[in-house]
Amino acid sequence: MIHKFLTTVAASTMMTGMAMADYSLTILHTNDFHARFEPISKYDSGCSSEDNAEGKCFGGSARLVSAVAAARARSNNSILVDGGDQFQGTLFYTYYKGKLAAEMMNKLGYDGMTVGNHEFDDGPEVLRGFMDAVNFPVLMSNADFSGEALLHGKLQKSAIIERGGLEEIRNRVVAETAQEIIGTKDECRARECAMGNLIADAMLDRVRDQGIEIAIQNGGGIRASIDAGPVTMGEVLTVLPFQNTLSTFFVTGQTIVDALENGVSQMEEGAGRFPQVAGMSYTVDPTAAAGGRISDVMVGGAPIDLAKSYGVVSNNYVRNGGDGFKMFRDAENVYDFGPDLADVTAEYMAKIGPVTPYKDGRITVK
């Protein structure tokens, strides 16, 4: 019996630190084939050529080949894997053991399989012969084969399969910049920086139509600069490697001021909580005591109203209290599952490009 399913997954599930909004992977899976190389009837027995011609039969290698080919044609990236129990079930196995299964699986281009209980029916010799014949890894993670010489070192616990090319995604040009965009730690954790402006503006641009007025990005979430010229997705991901998503929420003006005070409370240490902003401006006096450093906070060109509720966009790390921003945990109308920040930034750069780095005085350090 063949059980097939197709699953499409976001590549963020398999590629750490990569924004994968435009990547999908189709997983083709079979299991319990049990040497059913010929079609079978609904009674799980042999099928006559007449019944097969009338569509009364199912399964068999020919149908599997066609189904796999059709599924692969619908996907740019796919893998074919098997859940085991290729062995036993018909005279094909009784006579050929695992040889015919190995030949068919190689022709189908399997990328990997795990073993089922029936792969052990004829001992390690037959299983080892099968593994030597196939062109893909055979896996089993929950058994100790250190005492079985034929299987030890051959039956693997895991394997890595690459599809779509990590390098292709990293090297994809997404924008262009006229000059280097500075995003160093010294800049973005102590003062207004060009990379902070770009990222905060990108965030606000994405959600402004949702009633959001302010963007706040922690300087510690900015990890690199971008050279002048063509900008690749890999460069954007180096700047923003944490797979943070956009979070939108509403808080009072007083809470925003409290958040800014938190953000500048460890400037001397170069802490990552320093707030890069958009849609607003503020002044900070690093010589003042922590908790009293912020002044002249403006939102949309007007003094902030401490009692008013403002729409804010940040990343999900900050919204959930990271870098000391605990005051955002109790925000209203929270949505933490927006698009990936790296994707948002790349798309904004493409939209406004070629990008010219800029500072406009939104943060004043006395």
Render pLDDT for 326-353 as a digit per residue (tens, 0 to 9).
999 999 999 999 999 999 999 999 999 8
Does 87 share its domain with 113? Answer: yes
Position 14 pLDDT exceeds 70: no
Residue that is written with structure tokens 């399913």 in the block? 5
Q: What is the pTM of this model?
A: 0.65
**More confident position, 324 or 14:** 324
Please report the pLDDT score of residue 40 as a whole number. Answer: 86
Query: Residue 137 and residue 339: Cα distance in Å, rounded?
Result: 36
Q: Where are the beta strands (DSSP E) in 151-245?
A: 173-177, 214-218, 229-232
Query: Residue 261 and residue 128: Cα distance in Å, rounded?
Result: 65
Does 190 share its domain with 152? Answer: no
Domain that holds residue 177: 173-365
Q: What is the CATH number of the domain that holds 178?
A: 3.90.780.10
Among the ranges given (11-20, 82-91, 177-186), the one the predictor scored with the smallest mean pLDDT: 11-20
Please report the pLDDT score of residue 70 as a whole number. Answer: 95
Query: Residue 112 and residue 104: Cα distance in Å, rounded?
Result: 13
Domain boundary among 128, 143, 166: 166
Please report the pLDDT score of residue 209 as a whole number. Answer: 97
Domain boundary among 142, 166, 190: 166
Judged by DSSP in three states, 231 sits in strand
Question: Domain tally for the chain?
Answer: 2
Does 158 share its domain with 266? Answer: no
Residue that is written with structure tokens 């401490």 in the block? 306
Q: What is the CATH number of the domain that holds 134?
A: 3.60.21.10
Domain boundary among 118, 138, 166: 166
Tokens of 126: 């037959």
Does 141 share its domain with 246? Answer: no
Does 141 share its domain with 208? Answer: no
Among the ranges given (162-166, 207-211, 230-234), the one the predictor scored with the smallest mean pLDDT: 162-166
Does 215 share its domain with 246? Answer: yes
Does 162 share its domain with 184? Answer: no
Tokens of 198: 């770009």
Please report the pLDDT score of residue 52 as a whole number. Answer: 82
pLDDT digits (tens, 9 = 90+) for 172-184: 999 999 999 999 9
CB burial string 247-257: b at 16+ within 10 A, e below: bbbbbbbebbb
Please report the pLDDT score of residue 183 as a whole number. Answer: 98
Does 76 share its domain with 206? Answer: no
Position 167 pLDDT exceeds 80: no
Does 260 share its domain with 350? Answer: yes
Does 14 share its domain with 95? Answer: yes
Most confident by average pLDDT, 101-105, 152-156, 164-168, 272-276:
272-276
Name the β-bridge partners of 277.
216
Relative to beta strand 78-82, strand 112-114 is: parallel
Rounded mean pLDDT of the chain?
Answer: 91
Q: Residue 313: is it exposed, middle or buried by C-beta count within 10 angstroms (0-12/13-18/19+)?
A: buried
Relative to beta strand 280-284, strand 294-299 is: antiparallel
CA angle at 18 for the pair 14 and 24, rounded to the nearest 5°: 55
Does 58 share its domain with 138? Answer: yes
Position 153 pLDDT exceeds 60: yes
pLDDT digits (tens, 9 = 90+) for 88-135: 999 999 999 999 999 999 999 999 999 999 999 999 999 999 999 999
Does 233 share its domain with 285? Answer: yes
pLDDT digits (tens, 9 = 90+) for 172-222: 999 999 999 999 999 999 999 999 999 999 999 999 999 999 999 999 999
* CA distance to 6, 28, 56, 109, 287, per residue, from 74 (Å): 11, 12, 27, 16, 62
What's the sign of the alpha-carbon dihedral 181, 187, 192, 197?
positive
pLDDT band, very low/low/confident/very high, at 24 (cuts 50, 70, 90): confident
